[in-house]
Structure 1
Amino acid sequence: MIVLLGVLVVVVGFATRRNSLLVVGVAGIVTGLLGGLSPGEVLAAFGSGFASSRPVTIFAITLPVIGLLERYGLQEQGRTLVARFARLTTGRFLALYLGLRQLTAALGLISIAGPAQTVRPLVAPIAEGAAEKKHGRLTDAARERIRSYSSSADTVGLFFGEDCFLAVGSILLITGFVNTTYDQHLEPLHLALWAIPTALCAFAIHGARLLRLDRTLERELAASAAPPGPPDGTPAGGTPGTGTEEAAK
């Protein structure tokens, strides 16, 4: 059980807001050393893991294409598109994207969207355009909030949607481990079906948070646009010191 201290390193690192890559790397080294591996074997494990997961870095190929699209006005076209829909708000659009992302992930279409492919160049600008159409000029805090919710819609949709797909890696890993270790006969279809209620609950909970985003933005932007109150001792519309003099009298 001592090898689980690597998990503690991850928890502490993320709780203290350390660099994610550094935290995961240190946790892997700690886990390997506590598990009885030599430094050379730990390094070999890192190398074999990177070599076997090279397709994860395929997103880097899409970055130049996305850069060219943004240079030639992709974000502006997204804002122009959302301006044509009168009833489309930021929360409604992100809830719609959450459902679409969850559905495509459940069908196995995992790589067609993501933070680099769709959120950064398309989803976040459209969500910001919907907010600008309703509230006018946005503050920096409002823009950051919209971008974070855009990223969360993609992450939640993917995380809870992909488990409904039979051939996803996590499903195959669980069935292989259970069938081999405990001599059971667990079908991937069983796990995928039991993942559907969880996916529906995730959509309902996070979809409600996304819809509530419209009211949050309205409240924050109204507070930032309100004129500052009078200083202490100065009644609204009066002159400085009047309130103090009246109190003295």
Structure 2
Amino acid sequence: MDLSLWLPLIGIPIVVLGFALRFNPLMVVTLAGLATGLAVGMDGFSLLETFGEKFMNSRQLASALLILPVIALLERYGLKQAAQSWVAQIRGATTGRILMLYFVVREVSAALGLLSLGGQAQTVRPLLAPMAEAAASNQYGDLPGPIRDRIAAHAAACDNVALFFGEDIFIAFGAVLLMTAFLKENGIHGVEPLMIGLWAIPTALCALIIHLFRLSRLDARIARDMHAWRLAQSSLAASAKAEAVA
């Protein structure tokens, strides 16, 4: 077996091992890139040139980091409380309905190329999760930790699933262009971005139907969990009272 054919893959075990050992992701990826470059015979200058070129081509990714301090300031000055108070004024607002509406808007906007319209940092944490939690609080009062965690998890899943399946419909999305280029490089012609986008529509519709069905059951799940939690609290209170009397 010619080991030289396997050397370019040395970066894969480095990434897997580094993530498994919980090392710094940036350090792990950088080390994997350096090891792969050296394995294929690149010199130090070529490696630095390649790293610099790729960084310059994707430097817009760093702009996402600027969102974090802005969101932190908004949260400090009452963004979460404002979102919760606004939901409290809407009659008929439930956790499931709010998340269903967001899912539809997020998937449609992603299909149109508006990928930054939502997001975990800028939308889910400061707005969507507090609004969904406030809708449940309006119905049941103070929520226990497990139920708040469940609502937050569903809010995060809404953004992830809607974005994942919606963005493939947008023909200028990077992954669509990458698939088209990969197929052409391997001799498969006649597959255009428009075709890939059209074939992504059935999958996005299936994801929409399945996830909306899951969210339609969320309100009932919250009601059952709250009922069970209140029964448990009543049982504990009765047991404590009985012990105090005894």
Pairwise same-fold verdict (TM > 0.5)? yes
TM range (shorter): 0.7 to 0.9
Question: Deviation at 1:105?
Answer: 0.6
Which of 118, 122, 132 does residue 127 from structure 2 map onto? 122
Aligned CA distance change for structure 1 residues 44 and 80 (closer, same or farther; 3 Å): same
Map of 2:217 onto structure 1: 212
- How many matched pairs? 237
- Structure ranking higher in helix proportion: 2
Aligned-partner Cα distance in 2 for 1:18–1:213: 37
2:157 aligned partner, one-letter code: S
Corresponding residue for residue 106 of structure 2: 101
The range that moved more, 171-180 or 4-13, is 4-13
Give the gaps of 5 or more residues in structure 1. 240-249
Per-residue CA deviations over 1:73-111 (Å, capped at 9, x if unaligned) read 221221122122232211221121111000001011111
Identity %: 46
Deviates more, 1:195-204 or 1:49-58: 49-58
Deviates more, 1:210-219 or 1:10-19: 10-19
Q: Is the 8 A contact 1:83 1:129 kept in 2?
A: yes
Q: 1:34/1:55 Cα in 2 relative to 1: closer, same or farther (>3 Å)? A: same
Matched residues in 1 for 2:99 and 2:194: separation? 30
Select between 202-211 and 20-29 the one with higher mean Cα deviation.
Answer: 20-29
Match of 2:201 among 196, 204, 207: 196
Which residue does 1:244 correspond to in 2? none
Is residue 59–residue 116 contact of structure 1 (8 Å, CA) maintained in 2?
Answer: no
Alignment of 1:73-112 (within 5 A): 73-112=78-117
Give the 3 Å change call, closer, same or farther, for CA 209–21 of structure 1 in structure 2: farther
Distance 1:54 1:223, change over 3 A: same
Listed as ranges, the gaps of 5+ residues in structure 2 are none
Alpha carbons of structure 1 residues 184 and 110: separation in structure 2 relative to 1, 3 Å: same
Residue 43 to residue 212, structure 1, CA distance change in 2 (3 Å): farther
CA distance in 1, matches of 2:46, 2:222: 52
Secondary structure, aligned partner of 1:76? helix
Matched, 1:161 2:172: no
Deviations 1:169-203 (A, max 9, x none): 11111112222331613221100000001111111
Inter-partner Cα distance in structure 1 for 2:234 and 2:89: 35
- 90-99 or 135-144: bigger deviation: 135-144
Corresponding residue number in structure 2 for 1:177: 182
Task: Report the TM-score, using the length of structure 1 for normalisation.
Answer: 0.78
TM-score where L is the length of structure 2: 0.79
